Structures are given as C-alpha cells and as structure tokens.
Chain A
Amino acid sequence: MTSQMFGAPVKRREDPRLVTGGGRYLDDLGHSALAAAFVRSPHAHARIVDIEVSDALDVDGLVGIWTHEDLPGRVGEPLPLLIPHPTLTHGRTQFALARDEVNYVGEAVVMVVARDRYVAEDVCQRIRVDYELLTPVVGIANARDGSALVHDDVPGNVACRMLQEVGDVDAAIAAAPHTLELDLDIERSACMPMEGKGVLARWDSDKGELRIFSSTQTSTGVRAAVAAKLDLPLAKVECIAPDVGGGFGVKINHPWPEEVLIPWAARLLDQEVKWTEDRREHFISSAHERGQLQQIRVGFDDDGRVLGLDVKFWHDNGAYTPYGIIVPIITSTQLLGPYKPGAYRCEFWSLYTNTVLVTPYRGAGRPQGCFAMERTMDAIADRLGLDRAEVRSRNFILPSEMPYDHGLLFQDGRPLKYDSGDFPASLAKLKALVGWDDFAAYREQAEAEGRRVGLGIGCYVEGTGVGPYEGGHIQIETSGRVNVSTGLTSQGQGHETSFAQIVAQELGVSIEDVFVTTGDTRRMPYAVGTFASRAAVMSGNAIALAARNVRAKALRIAADALEVSAEDLEIVDGDIRVKGAPGTHMTLGTVSVMSNPLRYAFDEAAKAATQFAGTADYSKPPVADDDEPGLEGKDFYSPTQATFANGMHAAIVETDPVTAEVKILRYCVIHDCGTMINPMIVEGQVHGGVAQGVGGALYERMVYDDSGQLLNASFMDFLMPYASEVPHIETDHLETPSPLNPLGIKGAGEAGCIPVTAVIASAISDAEGFAITSMPISPVELWELRQRHARGEIPSLRGTRHTPSAPVTSAPVTSAPSTPSREAP
C-alpha cells in the first residue's frame, strides 16, 4: 500500500527551496526592470491645485513622470468596485492616480519610473504638489457625526446601512426578565505581511502580450481586472503569483492602483517595469481593518439564555470601498458564534473616513463580532452570578440541531446555515485543557503571593470555504511525474504539500512525484482566490475530484491493456497492478504513453506510442470519439454553501498590580476544522493566527492624529509582537467532518486570530474585577481604567469573579492540571 498521506504531518515540499534562499518573491524577479516610485498625498483630505515637475526633469536616469491627466481611457477611470451589494448605496473607489482630490494620506498622486528605485525616489522628492486643504474626517465618532464629509456626495459619510432581523427582537427583549446594554470599541489594525505588495510587468511587443507578476492573493482576478483596464483580450494577458511573503487578506483586494499602472507603463515604454512596496507605503497606502464601535442590547432569562439580541455597530471603511462591505456583513452574521439567540437584529453603518481603505484582514470582521458576543456572554454571567462557561453552554446550538439555519444571509449571499460542529464537546475539551474548574484555587494561591490573575474564554464559529468555485487539473507525464495545478494562490499555507498529499492519496502515487502549481493563470485560468479560509476546502476538493477522474482513466486504459476488469486493479506507488497478482502490472507513466498516440519518437517512451510500434485496431481511430489524448483530468468544486469551522480559546493572564502590564501565562486552543489534511500545517496556522490575535489584543493599533496622519507607520512604532510577546500555545483538536464536501474538510486559515481579543478582554476583566470594553488595551490604558474604577466611574463586576462551574450536563469534564504551567515547547 502507498503510505497514508491524507491526514499525516508530512514535511513541506516547499521548504528545502525556501530555507536555502531559493524562494522567488516578487522583488527577486526582474533585476533589469525599470523601477517605479510614487508621490503620495501627505494630506488626509485636500484638493490638488497644481503639480510641478520641472525641477525633477534633469535627474539622470529618469524615464517618465505621469499624473492623472496623462492616463488614457479606462486607466484614468475609477478602479472597480469589486463586490457590489444592494445596501452599498454610496460605494466609492479611487483613481489609480488621484484626479482632483485626495482622501487619505498615502493616496498615489504621481507615478515616476526611472532606472532604479533610488533614482525614482530622487525624482519624487523634486516634484512639488500644491494642495488646498479640506476638513479631514478621522475616527468613527467624527464620521458618524457627519458635520464634515469625506465625499461631498455621500451624506452623513454613510456608504451603507444594512439591517437583518430574525424574530421580533423588541418584543423578546421587552418580555425578558433581564436586560443589559454594552458599548464596545475595537481599534484599527492591519495584516502586515512581511513582504509588502509588488508588481512586475513585461510587455512582449512582438506578440502584443502582457505578463504580470503580482504579490497577490488572486492572480485570475488581477489578470481579468488589468485586461479590462488596458482594453486587452484576456488571451493576451497572463498573471502569475510567485512566492508570496504572506497576505492575511490585504492582497486579495485588486486591482491596486499599482497593478494597473505598472502594466500600463510597461506597455507604454515597451520595457519591464517593477514596483516593490516599501514598509511605509504598506502602512499608509495598502489597507487596514478592525475599527468598529458597537452597541448591544440583550434580553435573557434567569438561566442566562439569550431571548433577544439587538446589535448596532458603526464600521470604519476608510476613504473608499473597492472591496464592498464584506467585513461588516461578516461581523453582523458571524457575531452569533455557536449560539442561538431567540431573536436577533443587527443594524450597521459602514462609514467613510479620511484614512486608508479597510479591506479584510485575517478573520475579516469576525474578531469584532466575536468580541461583541463574548463580552455579552460574560456580562450575562456576571449579572446572574453564573459561571461564564456554563452560560455559554446553555446558549449553544447542539449537535442534534445541525444543520442549523440562522435565517440570515451570509457574506456569499447564501443562507447562514451551519453544517456541523459539536460545541459542548469543544467546551469540555477546553475546560480540561486550561483547568477551568481548578482556576479558583490557583487564583487564591496567586493572590496570596500578591499576584493578580484572571481567566478568560472565547468561542467562535467561522464560515470557511465560500464559493463560488475552484478547479483542479492533473496531468501525468510519461515519466510518471504528476503535475497538479489549481488557480488560487499561496502565501505560506503549504499548498504545494497539502494538495500533493491529496493527490498522492487519491491516485496512489508517491508524494515525491507530485508537483503542485498555484496562482498561475497559464496553468489554470479559472479560479477565484485565496481568502476566507477557502483554499483547502475549495481547491482541495476540486483536486481530489480531478484525481479521481485521472485515476478512472488510468484504470480504464490499463484494464484494457492488461485485459482485466478495472475493478480488479489498484495503484500502488505509481504502479497499476492486479489485486492479489502484483506480477501483472504497468506504471502510470506507461499508461500516460498509451493515452497519447504519437507520430514522432523523441525518446524511448514516445517510441512506444508511435503508429508503427504495436498492433493497432484499424477499425478504430487512434483517439476514440469520446476520449481525449493524454493522461489528465480536470474538475471543479462548487458547493451550495460555506462550511462552518469552530473553536474555543481560553487564557490565563497576570496583570501587574503596579505597572498594569499584562502577561499571558497560558493560552489554550480547541480547534475543529473538520478532517485535517496535514495536522502539522493546521497547527502552524493556529499558532500564527493566535500570535496575530495577541498583537491585536495588546499591542497593535493604527494611531491617526486629528489631521489624519498615521503617527506610527513603521515597525518601530506599530508594535507587532516578537517572540517575546507571544505565549506558548497549547492546542487540542476535534475533527467534526463537514458533510458538505467529499474530503470532509473545513477551512483553518483564519481561525486562530478570531477570539483572541475577546479572550484577553475576558481574562483581564476577570483579573481586575471590572469589565474591559475597549480593545486593544495598553498598560497605560489599563492603569487609567483602574484609577477610574477606584473613583467609582466604572462599576465593579457584580458576580464574584471566576468560580468553578456548576456540573455541566452536556459533556464530561476530565481532570486537568491544577496550576497553570507554561509547557516547554
């Protein structure tokens, strides 16, 4: 038997290349290309009065300078609004180069192309742009106030107002024995991949063809968008995503201004042109996420069961909405997590501000939603003096209620219907892992030592693997080499490995013979992209289906040749053989030869396939009417709905009684993403997600001043966690297979980061004895909250702090370590 590949922690196929300097990221290509640099707006809101370039023209090495008025036709029109929505009544997008007005610091105004980047930046320094300043709108409160406008023709700065309601919320809350209101606030953060964006374009003037390399999460998307902008037939444009140094969402938006301008310049100049984003550009001119203000009203019964949940929130979408309102839609739907509120209403406003745009960042609106829901759960528990885990479990959707339809529309415009999940089992595992029931004793001991500790919890459900589709193509060469391609891209998820595992398993070949290509429109022109934790679900299943097709074809040809029935054959390590009689066999390579009748014998294998090589049946054509030459197969996977993964996290934090510093002592994760292709990779995804979550909870924020300047646009000032800030993460998995797809898998990419802000807020609240409602939180802020709490401005939590839970009836709790310990990695 070929060893079990699916589900094994197989070492990554991409790693030998990447650890020896053999990766090829965008800026590693095109060494002789001309370089582009941009003059970007230093103002958040201004009218462009004049652009003066005469000082710049004599710089040695300058090739060209362009402003908006130089851009012809569609290149000069606004960039597309990628995801329209009926409620997005006031969608606005920017020009590739600003036309009359700039709406955020960092908006591109002038493009310079020169011999190299040093010279291009010299030129930029010599270009003078005169601006007439307009009133900047910064911060959600100012945007909501609406007295100053970002776009003159968008009243109240409201891009979109959306309302979804299930049941009669007002009646449910009015009738509820208890009600609570919460005001919550969550700050901006950003993806911050270690590699910024970048584009390289080559124009082939002999063939009139364009080749684009982009550090993107969607090469098919960039290809189509650029072809449309440059008015080129799709057949004349190809786009390749090389190795990509992280994405986390920001590289799914497209086309970025540079993705239009660099190909345009390459064609115009008939020379290779490249732009590599530098770190400051990434901060001020890519995209951010997260910022929301939330108001929650909840009605619940004596047991803590939610009867009615009324949520309003205001979402900062930055200056433009090229990616639509995906983020707030996800917040409004995924907020529900593993719970079933009796009635639910969510109304949100997506607001313009004079800040860089907001597009999805890992989690994509879910961390905000989870924060809202989980803060509410903690508040209910506190009001009733109940255990926080117990209140959650009383609100869980039970396995017997799956599939569970919330009666809402999800981000893909389809019903929000959970396919599977065992929330009570997840909670039981989490409590065991963190030692939930022993925490009170631990705290007592810690407090006796003068230490202040708290325990926090957070649960989430994540819609993953949204459609519309992905495809897989597999071709087996005469050497036995298996070429696999899928159109979506990779940014570190290990697709070369996990997809190869699927093919090795399905086909019965050695993984060493499988070669996976992603994100190359020459190899697979039909694809959507890598986002929403969808790659494994979508492409994984498409590739599995394609492999099954190839397998069927190989068995049919071999059965014919070996004169046996296909059912009697098996494929082991690339060899097709009769079950029980391994002497009768032929390799997949030989079948590949036979599948492709040839005229020319260019090598030994080909010789066997030429027309005079063997006995031919002259009554039949060399390729049957219903067949195709070659041993290849293709298929697409297009599900009716998303699959829903879930997880639960708990953390123990210590807050310094004097300095208010927060230290995470333990961080525990229970994760259920269905069947796992490669648990090592899944675990890595969880670690990375939690680390980003920790950054978002304690360190990272975008600090804009009133004039719209981003004050911390560097790694010196934007505090991305180093190893010293990220705790050791303890994980345990549950595998509840999805009934929706052949492999039973759900997505895993974003999960880790979703509940972290909620969990840390919960733990700090537990440690301090008052509710944390605004995240991230710095030591200074916590210190100030303590002062306000001491002055009576912030109420104490009413219930006693964390107490062991009442016995949970739904699932047993196993014994757990009595004191938190940081396990050695």
Chain B
Amino acid sequence: MTEPIADSATEELLDLTVVVNGVPRHAKAPARRLLSDFLRHDLRLTGTHVGCEHGVCGACTVLVDGQPMRSCLMFAVTAQAHEVTTVEGLGAIDSMGPVQQAFIECHGLQCGFCTPGFLTTITAYLEDHPHPTADEAREAISGNLCRCTGYQNIVKSVLRAAELRAERAGTTT
C-alpha cells in the first residue's frame, strides 16, 4: 500500500480511463490509487496479483504498451495514456494463448498465485525472442518469484510456448 496522505481532507476522486485488454475502462479513483489496485478492485480484473507491493516479486506484472511493467509500482493515473494487457487479455479458457496452454501442459504452476506475472512476462519475452534456449528461458524468468514450482517446469513452459507460437504461426500463415 502507499504512503498516507498528508491531511485528512476528503480525497478527490478522479475520472480515470484506462485501455485494458483493448477496451477503454472508466472508474473513479484517487490520484494515489496504484494500477494494481485499480485493475483488481476498481475494474475487478483480479487475475493480476499482488505478492509484495514493492516491485520485487513480479506477480503484478502487466503489459503496458506491450512491455512488462510492475503494476504495483505504477499509478492508475499514469496508465491513462497507455494500453494495458492483463492475464485476462492473454486468452480465455476456450481460446488460450500459447503461454497459458504451455503452462498447463508442462505443469508450470502449482498454487497459481505467481502465474499471471510469469504469463505476461513470458508473452512479452517471446515476442522479442521467439526461439530461446533453455538457459535463455531461465534468464528470462529470473525477475519473477515463485515459491511453489522450483521454476524447472516454468522453464519448460517457456520452451513449449515458443513451440506452440511457432506452430500457430505456421497454421495461420
């Protein structure tokens, strides 16, 4: 959570519009509302998780204009000028993205709490590095914490997701 406000005056609520998963979303929130809280509690997109509130664990990672960003370190107000993609935007149950599908196939998650942050991070990574080696895949996920999996199956998931992306690209072109 944030630093307290200096005085007890009623907080001014701002009309915020943030493009989330391609849709402009409106809500009223104070200037100090973190993007993570805004997504979770104002827009009720609870797929984005908060594991540390200080930018270290990566659970809250969303894509801002396609780049992975820690939504616990960003204000909702600041996000107004950008396009935000959350885990909900990576694919739904009946139309999963390649990274989501790879995580299921490779047992890349246990409790699932860290998972949305990995999924967004890896999605962006594979955009720039479509054919990683195992070592590169490990490096790519080394900014996110997971307490359950020991990472081995997440590394495997990255490699599998790369394959799935390539397969899908092959079938659609």
Contact = CB atoms under 8 A, between A and B. Distances in A.
A722 B144 contact: yes
B9 interface: yes
Nearest to B33: A118
B96 A245 contact: no
B169 interface: no
B115 interface: yes
Interface residues of B, number: 69
Contacts of A193: 111, 113, 147
A14 B52 contact: no
Contact of B138 (A685, A692, A723): A723
Interface in A103-143: 116-118, 121-122, 125-126
B47 A22 contact: yes
Interface stretch (A432-440, A487-495, A645-653): A487-495
B150 A59 contact: no
A22 B47 CA distance: 6
B171 interface: no
A493 B112 CA distance: 10
Nearest to A715: B56
B71 interface: no
A20 B93 contact: yes
Contact of B93 (A12, A22, A714, A722): A22
Given A15-B103, A246-B111, A31 B44 contact: yes
A20 B111 contact: no
B49 A25 contact: yes
A23 B9 CA distance: 37
A195 B51 contact: yes
Contacts of B149: 684, 687-688, 691
B147 A246 contact: yes
A20 B87 contact: yes
A768 interface: no
Contacts of A28: 40, 46
Contact of A714 (B52, B59, B115, B139): B52
B24 interface: no
B142 interface: yes
Nearest to B42: A31
Interface in B19-74: 30, 32-33, 40-41, 44-54, 56-57, 59
B76 interface: no
Interface stretch (A180-188, A724-732, A777-785, A809-817): A724-732
Contact of A684 (B92, B110, B134, B138): B110
Interface string B133-153: 010001101111111111111
A11 B153 CA distance: 13
A19 interface: yes
Contacts of A17: 93
A122 B8 contact: yes
A563 B112 CA distance: 49
A225 B138 CA distance: 44
Contacts of B154: 723
A194 B142 contact: no
A12 B86 contact: no
B113 A245 contact: yes
Interface in B84-108: 86-88, 90-93, 96, 100, 103-105, 107
B78 to A, nearest CB: 17
Nearest to A25: B113
Nearest to B89: A21
Given A12-B107, A16-B104, A60 B9 contact: yes
A81 B145 CA distance: 34
A571 interface: no
A248 interface: yes
B162 interface: no
B126 to A, nearest CB: 15
A59 B8 contact: yes
B79 interface: no
Interface string A26-46: 011001000000000000000
A195 B54 contact: no
A59 B6 CA distance: 11
Contacts of B151: 687, 691, 722-723, 726
Contact of B40 (A23, A27, A691): A27
A687 B111 CA distance: 14
B165 to A, nearest CB: 16
Nearest to A119: B11
B77 interface: no
Contacts of B109: 15, 18-19, 492
Contacts of B91: 20
Contacts of A491: 111
Contacts of A74: none
Contacts of A195: 49, 51, 111, 113
Nearest to A16: B93
Given A194-B57, A691-B150, A492 B5 contact: no
Nearest to B30: A118
B10 interface: yes
A278 B53 contact: yes
Residue among A17, A194, A246, A492 facing the most chain B CB atoms (10 A cut-off): A194
Contacts of B59: 194
B4 A21 contact: no
A191 B11 CA distance: 38
A15 B104 contact: yes
A26 to B, nearest CB: 10
B104 A279 contact: no
A690 interface: yes
Given A19-B104, A278-B53, A118 B32 contact: yes
Contacts of B18: none
B9 to A, nearest CB: 7
B110 A493 contact: yes
B92 A825 contact: no
Contact of A279 (B44, B52, B92, B152): B52
Contact of A20 (B8, B88, B113): B88
A193 B104 CA distance: 21
Contacts of A14: 112
Interface in A486-505: 491-494
Interface in A223-274: 243-246, 248
Residue among B8, B45, B110, B143 facing the most chain A CB atoms (10 A cut-off): B110
Given A12-B107, A246-B111, A722-B142, A194 B147 contact: yes
B147 A192 contact: yes
15 contacts: A15-B103, A27-B46, A27-B50, A193-B147, A246-B113, A492-B148, A680-B107, A684-B153, A685-B110, A687-B150, A687-B151, A688-B110, A688-B147, A714-B54, A715-B57
Interface of B: 1-2, 4-5, 8-11, 30, 32-33, 40-41, 44-54, 56-57, 59, 86-88, 90-93, 96, 100, 103-105, 107, 109-116, 119, 134, 138-139, 141-156, 159
The 5 closest A-B pairs by CB, nearest first: A21-B47, A245-B113, A492-B111, A687-B150, A18-B112
